[in-house]
Structure 1
Amino acid sequence: MTITQELVKDKAAEDSDRPSSEQPPGYDQIDEQIPTIPPLNLSYNAGPLVSTTVTRDQCVAHLKFIAALADLRDSVAGNDGLFGLHDPPQTEFPDHVDEVRARMREKRWAVYTARAVDRYTKWWGTCVPSNRPGARLKDLEDESYDHITQGNHLLSWSKDSLPPLDVLMVWHAHMLNPRAFLEDCIRSGKMSFWASGFPWETINDCIDNRTLEYDAGDRARVSFSGLTRFAWDNLHDQLKKLIECPACENTVSVPWTRGRISLPIQTAFDKFDGYADKNFNVKCLKCGSTIDHELLRVRKFRRDVVDWLREKVPMPGTLYNLRGVPESINKSRTRQHSTFPNRFIEALGNDLLDYTDARQARCMTVSQLRDQLESKLKDWQIMRLANNGKPLREDGVAFRRMMSHYWNNTGPFALDLVGAVIRQGTFVEKMDHIDWLHSPTVMATMDRLIRKYHVFFHIMASNPRRMAVPTLDVDLAWHTHQLAPQRYFEYSVCHTNLQTRIATFIDHDDKVDENRLSDGFEWTSKIYRKLTDGEIYSECTCWYCEAIHRTSRLTQKRTRTSPLTMPSEPTPGTSC
């Protein structure tokens, strides 16, 4: 039962003792009176990039989009038999049937998400415009590269140009990894796409306020299908995927998922071997090679090496400095650390191409690749060519950052987008349950969490060596800010430079282990209370408590003479 339903039930019980003449309308009429989504003005932003973040209307539009994603997930996960994944009968797993069915729901969603990423990849390549050539070494050596995030014209989005909801979902998750999204846009020359951000106004107009159904119209359907050759509806696409054999380049047709569930629950899908399965495995009928995810990841690396050696396309992870800021590389030695992998790969040259050639079957996994490369880091002749000597600690950081692009990542992007979408699922589920979208105090709640986010960001910017952990409400504002990449970049670089004199593009890491999260959350709570004269960092955000908070804030507002300002916070009109 959602909070909305609970409140309606409580309200009905509350009114049961009234005289009949004062009785409220029946349940069907009460449903009509549940607070609707307020009108939103999404045609403007919050103000100057360096002193403002997001608007409350943008946060509400984000909630609405998240609600649409939650409904999509429920629909897909609960579709018994989808992709051949059937709920088992009670008799098959009598002691674990509920757990198995829950895992089956997760599996349907995982397969759907893998297909969505495939569709997003095609949309990225065929529908998202490039306003400049993809980055080459000569670009990194030009001083103008310092300003690659500036001066990009903005795209004009219309309903007709929007993709399906599942593709929007992947785009959303991609942007919530700010450094990776920036890198991918630089590599592909899609900086106008990066600067334009998530088109809230256009997307919001396509989502019905009441049903939360997404409909971009017939022209959008025709355009998407015509350009990508995919159906508008993910579920109407083929049940098989075409891949290229890394050894002989033969086209191989593989199922998205295939197998039979088995116990124990923890390894229920380990025997599945389709493309969307962890243990994907297929034999090429032409050359006999066994193709799996590991071999495809090595192939991804090899293609990047070829692009670097032949076209001087920088290796992934080398397009910005160790603080995430794009920076030309011809000014000082400190600016050379981030590009160490390029020089290292150059020194290895054709020997590395031979080692990763799938026809020779010498390098079959990313672990083998890492071991080979690390052995070369100890080769003084190689290092003399690459670095004029022993690699420094910063060079090792750059090397590991490059390698991070290949762990569990078969696709062309800087991170595994399937995992990125799945990880966002927890946040989507929590937001859908709390249902601020239909709260009568939603606008006041958004004002509160935006103010709270400003304090949180100050904590992050001032303490680069500590991990600040957001609350759920802060996370909404933080995510919404990241969906305006240029604004988020400028705000981040400005505030970190003000606080530490070191400009940093603060990333969003959603893969932190629980122990670090717990320690970081406790520390963040203490710093927050110190900065806000004792305000509680983590508090209940249900509808009732939000209404109480709003009343309390109105009282405080009458006595407060000035808004809370962080130390060294830029004022409107200030330039960093």
Structure 2
Amino acid sequence: MNLNLKFASNAPLPPTVKFFPHLDRVVTVEHCYYYLSFLERFWTFMDTMTLYEQRHYLARAEVRYEKWLHNFNEGIRVPPLDVAFLWHIHALSPLRYYEDLVLRLRCNAVFDEIFPLDNLHHTANDPHMNDLNIWNQVFGEDEPYFLSPENMYDGTYSRPCYACQQEIVLPWSAYFEYRYGVNTTRFPHDGCGPAEGINFLDVARMKLESDLTNKCPGPIVAGTLLKPNGTIRKKPNKMVTKIKPLQIILPQEEMDYAYERQIQEQLKFFGKKYEYDANELLYAIRTSYQSNPTPFSIDLIHAVSRQRRFYDTIISMDWSSESDILIASIRHYHNFMATLKHQSNLHAVPTVEIDIAFHVHMLCGPQYRKFTLKHLHQVINHDDNIPENYIKEYTARWKRGIVAPPYIYMVKETKKESRHVY
């Protein structure tokens, strides 16, 4: 046990059985505490590395998360720290998380699993031997259970091509440069690539092509599969079937503009009744596909970097009365959700205190969807990509008494769209 960690011990115990509040059976003081422990362990380990090493570590962790997803049924319920952190980051975008795991990648079993905060805390340095054995059997010696700067360059990157399913194989050092866009040179790919080879901008293009032309159950373009309330669309996006996958995009970095031109041409024929679907599709291409060669609909690596600010704020807080803070976190989160229920057309910015309980709730995907659909009639989305000046502006407005109540900053929307929580 690292005695320098603030959350290394066991979760605080209530003086009486019913003393601690809880919400939806999963948002508890215990889970909130173990969530803080999980964040602290991850970022403490990250801080032992240089920035250069951190970037490489996250790129490999992202690939390992994909491999773990597709081998979840082998029995590895408690993944390594790096994989668990990417899993958690994915879950913090509940609409895209549901789209990816349930509708696109068919990893329903992972979505149905409750994030193992308790096990991750208690097996931090001593994982179950069964998990280690299964990991070694499934992934082999080239994929160590504990990822570190000492072993993250060992072995090779490989994944099936989206177009031809032939493996794309590269040294990890080369993959890291491709993943971050440092290297856009082409490498040989005999399966479906042209004579000059492909790069990872081509891989991102082929990812969209594969989703556009999916045969069963049909096109699975990320960002177009759910209604604004988070439920599955019964009728697919009308524009998806009207456009053709582009084999060549020049310049390669401008996938969105290439498709925008095609979409605009289609709108000349189909008119205004297709405008919503056209805008939805173009936004999906920009946010889920452009420069994103991974199978996920969000850039998980960028999402990790955004979470660092959240952790730095948490770790700087005074935790001498940790149980009081976590109790307040759950109660204010309850009030936060109640406010969203009774306020229409609302953008909301939760405080860090509320966000702790909010994150814990989202880590239990099925419960979170069921709870928000039942009580708020939609799945409340979560987006941490909010400009710092936006938060400062509404913090200042709250201090001047313009915005209320004190645990939530609000702004009315100016147009019809789904509510988002930042």
Q: Same fold (TM over 0.5)?
A: yes
CA gap 1:251/1:315 in 2 versus in 1, 3 angstroms: closer
Match of 1:125 in 2: 70
Tell me the CA shift for residue 526 of structure 1. 7.2
Aligned to 2:258: 372
* C-alpha distance in 2 between matches for 1:318 and 1:504: 16
Task: Quote the offset at 1:115 in angstroms.
Answer: 0.4
Verify the 8 A CA contact 1:283 1:291 in the aligned structure 2: yes
SS of structure 1 residue aligned to 2:382: coil
Which residue of the partner structure matches residue 419 of structure 2? Answer: none
Are 2:135 and 2:145, in contact at CA under 8 Å, matched by a contact in 1? yes
Partners of 1:312 and 1:362 lie apart in 2 by 24
Task: Output the CA distance in 1 between the equivalents of 2:395 and 2:372.
Answer: 21
Aligned counterparts of 1:248 and 1:319: Cα–Cα separation in 2: 24
Q: Is residue 419 of structure 1 aligned with residue 302 of structure 2?
A: yes
Distance in structure 2 (CA, Å) of the matches to 1:299 and 1:46: 49
Per-residue CA distance 1:135-185 (angstroms, 9 max, x = gap):
xxxxxxxxxxxxxxxxxxxxxx8xx63221111111111111111111112
Name the residue aligned to 1:451. 331
Whose radius of gyration is greater, 1 or 2? 1
Letter in structure 1 aligned against 2:223: G
What's the counterpart of residue 61 of structure 1? Answer: 34
1:504 aligns with 2:378: yes
Considering fraction of residues, name the structure with more helix: 1
Taking structure 1 as reference, are residues 321 and 249 closer, same or farther at Cα in structure 2, changes over 3 Å only? closer
* Shift in alpha-carbon separation, 1:60–1:113, aligned structure 2, 3 A: same
Partner of 2:121: 204
**Residues 232-276 of structure 1: CA distance to partner in whole angstroms, max 9, x if unpaired?**
122335264246778998755434446xxxxxxxxxxxxx98234
CA shift in 2, pair 1:252/1:54, >3 Å: closer
Structure 2 Cα separation of the partners of residues 317 and 191 of structure 1: 18
Change over 3 Å in CA distance of 1:383–1:312 after alignment to 2: farther
Q: Contact 1:324/1:505 (CA < 8 Å) preserved in 2?
A: yes
Structure 1 CA distance, aligned partners of 2:404 and 2:163?
60
CA–CA distance in structure 2, aligned partners of residues 485 and 162 of structure 1: 16
Whole-angstrom distance in 1 between the partners of 2:318 and 2:169 = 43
Q: Distance in 1 between matches of 2:36 and 2:223?
A: 32
* Contact 2:349 2:408 survives alignment (8 Å): no
Aligned equivalents of 2:402 and 2:101: distance in 1? Answer: 35
Question: What RMSD over aligned residues (CA atoms) do the two structures have, in Å?
Answer: 3.6
- 1:275 match: secondary structure: helix
Structure 2 equivalent of residue 297 of structure 1: 204
Change (3 A) 1:374 1:46: same
Residue type at the aligned position of 2:252: T
User: Is the contact between residue 459 and residue 468 of structure 1 (CA under 8 Å) also seen in structure 2?
Assistant: no
Q: How many angstroms does 1:382 deviate by?
A: 8.0
Q: Is 1:394 aligned with 2:297?
A: no
Alignment of 1:336-347 (within 5 A): 336=235, 339-340=236-237, 343-347=238-242
| Cα distance in 2, alignment partners of residues 175 and 60 from structure 1 | 18
Offset, 1:66: 1.3
Shift of 1:128: 4.5
TM-score, reference length from structure 1: 0.60
Summarize the Cα distance change of 1:232–1:394 in structure 2 as closer, same or farther, 3 Å threshold: same
Aligned to 2:43: 70
> Could you say what secondary structure the match of 1:415 adopts?
coil
In the TM superposition, 1:422-501 aligns within 5 A as 422-434=305-317, 436=319, 439=320, 441-463=321-343, 465-496=345-376
Structure 1 CA distance for aligned equivalents of residues 297 and 163 of structure 2:
24
Q: Please, which moves more after superposition, 447-456 or 462-471?
A: 462-471
- Counterpart position of 1:116: 61
CA contact (8 A) 2:29 2:323 kept: yes
| Structure 1 equivalent of residue 232 of structure 2 | 326
CA 1:116 to 1:527, structure 2 compared with 1: closer, same or farther past 3 Å? farther
Alpha-carbon distance between aligned partners in 2 of 1:60 and 1:178, rounded to the nearest angstrom: 21
Letter in 2 for 1:221: L
Cα distance in 1, alignment partners of residues 47 and 161 from structure 2: 35
Deviation at 1:225, TM superposition (A): 2.4
Structure 2 alignment gaps of length 5 or more = 410-422
Distance of aligned partners of 1:524 and 1:215 in 2 relative to their CA distance in 1, 3 Å threshold: farther
Measure the CA separation in 2 of the matches of 1:530 and 1:362. Answer: 49
Whole-Å separation in 1 of the counterparts to 2:314 and 2:66: 27
1:34-53 correspondence runs (5 A): 36-38=9-11, 49=24
Q: Cα 1:522–1:115, aligned 2, differ >3 Å: closer, same or farther?
A: same
* Equivalent residue letter for 1:447: I
Secondary structure of the equivalent of 2:288?
coil
Structure 2 Cα separation of the partners of residues 451 and 60 of structure 1: 15
Local SS of the residue matching 2:325: helix
Give the match's secondary structure for 2:47.
Answer: helix
Q: What corresponds to 1:410 in structure 2?
A: 293
Letter in 2 for 1:117: E
Q: Aligned equivalents of 1:524 and 1:195: distance in 2?
A: 38
Structure 1 residues 536 and 315: alpha-carbon distance in aligned structure 2, compared to 1, 3 A threshold: closer
- The aligned counterpart of 2:77 is 161
Kindly provide the amino acid, as one letter, of the partner of residue 345 in structure 1.
V
Change (3 A) 1:299 1:40: farther
Are the equivalent residues in 2 in contact too, given 1:493–1:504 (CA < 8 A)? yes
The alpha-carbon distance between structure 1 residues 244 and 454, as it changes in their structure 2 partners (threshold 3 A), is: closer
| Offset at residue 477 of structure 1 (A) | 1.4
1:40-79 per-residue CA deviation (whole Å, 9 max, x = no partner) reads 69xx997674xx771111111111111211222123x1xx
Q: Distance in 2 between matches of 1:414 and 1:399?
A: 13
How many residues were matched structurally?
A: 391
Question: Are the counterparts in 1 of residues 99 and 225 from structure 2 also a CA contact under 8 Å?
Answer: yes
1:476 & 1:167 partners in 2: Cα distance? 20
Contact 1:254 1:275 in 2 (8 A): no
The residue aligned with 1:542 is none
Counterpart position of 1:519? 393
Amino acid paired to 2:383: D
| Structure 2 CA distance for partners of 1:432 and 1:47, relative to 1, 3 Å | closer
Query: Does the 8 A contact of 1:178 with 1:508 survive in 2?
Result: yes
Q: In structure 2, do the counterparts of structure 1 residues 249 and 382 end up closer, same or farther at CA, with 3 Å as the change threshold?
A: farther
Does the C-alpha gap of structure 1 residues 421 and 231 become closer, same or farther in structure 2, counting only changes over 3 Å?
same
Contact 1:461–1:492 (8 Å) recurs in 2: no
Distance 2:81 2:166 in 1: 33
- Distance of aligned partners of 1:247 and 1:480 in 2 relative to their CA distance in 1, 3 Å threshold: closer
